[in-house]
Chain A
């Protein structure tokens, strides 16, 4: 089943065209890595897909439901609020800078949306939250506050927070870019574990080796268009486009 589909997405900031006609599909259980140089538009794509930015035109479809469609005048039209609310439940997002709530303990960061948004009972929320913290090897940190944790631990809390709402698709926006080099590995391991559990994920990343190892499908974006896409062994292992080659050359050591 198609969990996510983007059709003909266009996005500009003022006169600057950031995304020109992007279309992509994500199937259930698929892991899609989006790579590309800085300023290529890959983060904007992810922000449009999670509706943190409104697209200028195009369609955004989760599990067959339109969150955004193109209206008669060619501009993007949002689904009615009730429907949008339901669709927002289909996805979660892990930020580059974690964006944990500093005034909430680790456990409350993970459980508060379950109680406030999904109206789950407190005991149920706590049990879900503790289960996820266990999975993230943070069981002993549930009473800590974000500032007391390392960057890697904070990012694992934010992954637990996103997973708590049981999303169908989980987005990662450069999840290791704000981390010290020695902490990157633990986050990549967590994402690999999720991939092994067939979690559907879309990952914007600079970690090319990681993208090759974990993704089923790699999309290379440059200048606001998809330059090349396909299985990692092709896009990363044997790129056909000169721009892809030039980009990947910088990662060869």
Chain B
């Protein structure tokens, strides 16, 4: 197979991988913040429920979670199976929100109490205090940890193969066995590497943008 034909065939997979990546970030970053609030809730019921959720998400393989999201509705509730792509996004978002939640929590808890006290005495309400004073400092502190997760996410998109979503790696594998060639794997490797190189660049840009304060 010509390299150009191979690339063309893999392009569709790259696009699906990229979509999984972008949609997961789009939903899991905000969801993670709310999960973090739940994890820090004073209400012990809410706090323990969220703790259990995080523990399951972090304690079981993402592959298994994707299978549960896809096959669960049928085997548990006798409902029809969901759209494969939708199942992948739900699985990834639930999983990554749990990781992001713990990163947010670490960041939020690392902000000195004096920042809250200064805001309180100046008359900021709770929402203003969090949005204007606390969160910008949290973002700066958690960025390196978030970068780690985002880079892992790029590689994790290949796990969508378990429910036969034809992302990049699924296609590469199919072509490789049909053509008896390792070239598709080489292309796949380069794809993930370049993708993560760009991710690292973007995150570095973000860190530099926040370097104006300490």
B214 at the interface (CB under 8 A from A): yes
Assembled-state Cα–Cα distance A165/B124 (Å): 12
Assembled-state Cα–Cα distance A113/B122 (Å): 6
Q: Is the CB of B112 within 8 A of A116?
A: no
Contacts of A95 in B (CB 8 A): 114, 117-118
Contacts of B136 in A (CB 8 A): 103
Contacts of B132 in A (CB 8 A): 112, 116
B121 at the interface (CB under 8 A from A): yes
A89 at the interface (CB under 8 A from B): yes
Given contacts A101-B133, A145-B213, whether A52 and B123 have CB atoms under 8 Å apart is no
A85 at the interface (CB under 8 A from B): yes
Q: Among B121, B137, B140, B213, which residue has its beta carbon within 8 angstroms of that of A88? A: B121
Q: Can you list, as one digit per residue, whether each of A146-175 has a CB less than 8 Å from chain B (1) or not (0)?
A: 110000000000000110010000000000
Assembled-state Cα–Cα distance A25/B115 (Å): 29
B128 at the interface (CB under 8 A from A): yes
Q: Is the CB of B121 within 8 A of A93?
A: yes
Given contacts A88-B123, A117-B122, whether A99 and B140 have CB atoms under 8 Å apart is no
Given contacts A117-B124, A165-B122, A165-B123, whether A99 and B117 have CB atoms under 8 Å apart is yes
B80 at the interface (CB under 8 A from A): no
A41 at the interface (CB under 8 A from B): no
Q: Which of chain B's residues has its CB closest to A101's CB?
A: B133
Contacts of A117 in B (CB 8 A): 122-124, 128
Q: Which of chain B's residues has its CB closest to A100's CB?
A: B118
Q: Name the distance in Å between A46's Cβ and chain B's nearest Cβ.
A: 11
> Which residues between 110 and 159 of chain B lie within 8 Å of chain A, taking CB atoms?
112, 114-115, 117-118, 120-124, 128, 132-133, 136-137, 140
21 A-B pairs with C-beta separation under 8 A: A51-B120, A52-B117, A52-B120, A85-B123, A92-B121, A92-B122, A93-B121, A99-B112, A99-B118, A100-B118, A101-B115, A102-B137, A102-B214, A103-B213, A112-B132, A113-B123, A117-B124, A145-B213, A146-B213, A161-B122, A162-B121
A83 at the interface (CB under 8 A from B): no
- Interface residues of A, count at CB 8 A: 28
B45 at the interface (CB under 8 A from A): no
> Which residues between 89 and 106 of chain B lie within 8 Å of chain A, taking CB atoms?
none
A40 at the interface (CB under 8 A from B): no
Q: Can you list, as one digit per residue, whether each of A93-136 has a CB less than 8 Å from chain B (1) or not (0)?
A: 10101011111100000001100111000000000000000000
A23 at the interface (CB under 8 A from B): no
Contacts of A118 in B (CB 8 A): 123
A50 at the interface (CB under 8 A from B): yes
Contacts of A93 in B (CB 8 A): 121
Q: Which of chain B's residues has its CB closest to A92's CB?
A: B121
Contacts of A146 in B (CB 8 A): 213
Assembled-state Cα–Cα distance A147/B121 (Å): 22
Contacts of B117 in A (CB 8 A): 52, 95, 99
Q: Is the CB of A102 within 8 A of B213?
A: yes
Contacts of A50 in B (CB 8 A): 121
Q: Name the distance in Å between B64's Cβ and chain A's nearest Cβ.
A: 41
Assembled-state Cα–Cα distance A19/B92 (Å): 53
Q: Name the distance in Å between A252's Cβ and chain B's nearest Cβ.
A: 33
Contacts of B115 in A (CB 8 A): 99, 101
B212 at the interface (CB under 8 A from A): yes
Q: Can you list, as one digit per residue, whether each of B190-214 has a CB less than 8 Å from chain A (1) or not (0)?
A: 0000000000000000000000111
Q: Among B112, B120, B124, B137, which residue has its beta carbon within 8 angstroms of that of A103? A: B137
Given contacts A95-B114, A99-B112, A101-B133, whether A147 and B124 have CB atoms under 8 Å apart is no
